[in-house]
Structure 1
Amino acid sequence: MKYRRLGGSDLNVSVISLGSWLTYSGGVEKADAIACVRKALDLGVNFIDTANVYGRGAAESLLGEALQGVERGSYLLATKVFGAMSDTDEGLSRSQIFKQIDASLARLKTDYVDLYQCHRYDEDTPLEETMQALTEVVRLGKALYIGFSEWPLDKIEAAAALKGVARFVSSQPQYSLLWPYPQTDIFPRCADLGITQIVWSPLAQGVLTGKYSPKAPPPPRSRATSKTMGAMLPKRWLEAPVLEAVLEVKRVAEEAGVSPAQFALAWALRQKNVSSAIIGASRPEQVAENVAAADLAIAEDYFFRAEEILEPVR
């Protein structure tokens, strides 16, 4: 495993991190999920990402159970706040941030998280209120650092311009060979501000693994066949032109001597502003395959060819 500094923090995060969005909020059996967590830790993954809204607490509760008995200083834990936890509980108001951090810590069975992230921007709450509340959470020791996910550039800059508040150290955007757009403006501006990226869906929800054929139904036990996880998979990515292009990229990966999943992860990690790429694993062997991408050196020419192949179908 390799590690990179997370923004302006003193946290060194594994370049491959373990996520829990669809997998550990109910999409995967508990025993399999816990096995994935333990396998990840065994292989040097030290950064685990979740959110209160994943299964309305289910993912946090599972991780709280999976991490029992593991020395707290040996891993870094991140969660998020914003999504609806009930008909009345959502957003980034002061009251919600204080309420949700305590609920998250209780489910995670820990006294603090290493990173507390705003899951989206809250248009209904003044930015100053949100940032002051997050600053208080840090002051109280309930979170060491703060970050955000999928914030627009102007709001990122507005937060950075505020005085007397905690600084964001991380951004969590969707980023993959099929969704490269944040690299155009978000990455360079964040680099200026001392913020690095923790990218989600670097495998495009499994599409970039090459498991889906344009001429056959999705394989059993794949995300596309899952009632819970498949609903979030963009239908566009399962159309024949996209899948045919992905199969071409699969051949490029094979030329490079790696699996399609490893190739896609290495492509994301080629960016200096990317500290970590989040994987969502259903089985321990998937964790092992993906972790191997941390140590790959792939010639840029292979990446250029893959980009050219996918450009017309993005």
Structure 2
Amino acid sequence: SNSPMWWMLYDHNPSGAPSGGENLQTGNYQKFAVYLATVAKYAADHWNLHFVSVEPFNEASSMGWTSDGSQEGCHIGSEAQQKVIIYLREELDKRGLNQTMVSASDENTYDGALKMWTSFPDNVRASVGRVNVHGYSYFYGARDKLYDAVHKQGKPLWNSEYGEGDATGLPMAENLSLDLFWLHPTAWTYWQPFDIPGWGMIESDLGKGTTAAVASKYYVMAQYSRHIRKGMQIIGSEKAETVAAYDEKNKRLVIVTRNLDKSQNITYDLSQFGRITDGTVS
């Protein structure tokens, strides 16, 4: 959820508070949870759409959600998040959605996510089924420390949103590699494949419903997504530039290495695999 319903907010504005501060009324913490759980239940009953998880927040610790903003958003601090998470877990369970996880907190940086997660007491962490984070600190931030804190609690971790305006796709490839090397997410999600030049892998005018050029970024992503397939396990590599994925069923290893602008000689140590057959290079 980008924001609770307008009438749940102090200033009745789903873009944020005037100063970017706390905006969800204390008396509406549970009502917000009821609203989210009710939507999830309706989707299951009427559309046969079963949510794996419900995320009540979107970059909610940010003070950038202000009433004059052009996008829905709401600052919700740690104490309020804790209460909403507990209420949401209860409301999902009341509706028989015991298998639907509460995910949190989709903070926009790795350090922000670490700060929020470690601020939660054990009972709140127990109510969270998966930790989500956005990758908008790009090349910076304690990815490894966030992973350690989340993994210690036995929770899966997603990078649930990444995007930037470079159509070459090279910054995306670098950050994807850094995430897989340090963050160990079980899902990595790009912002929108169809969007304005730079942000979109396919240039689009969403208002007019038209598409234009296919950016290099699309083909860069394809080097990962066409070869690293569902069910493969990301395995360790010596350097962050290289992503290695193993298909146990088909005994297939995929290696994707990011180009560092200059020609380079790279050696891969595959001695631990035992028997190696000839591979292909693309």
Taking structure 2 as the reference length, the TM-score comes to: 0.43
**Larger Rg, first or second structure (1 or 2):** 2
Higher fraction of helix: 1
More relative contact order, 1 or 2 (CA 8 Å, 6+ apart)? 1
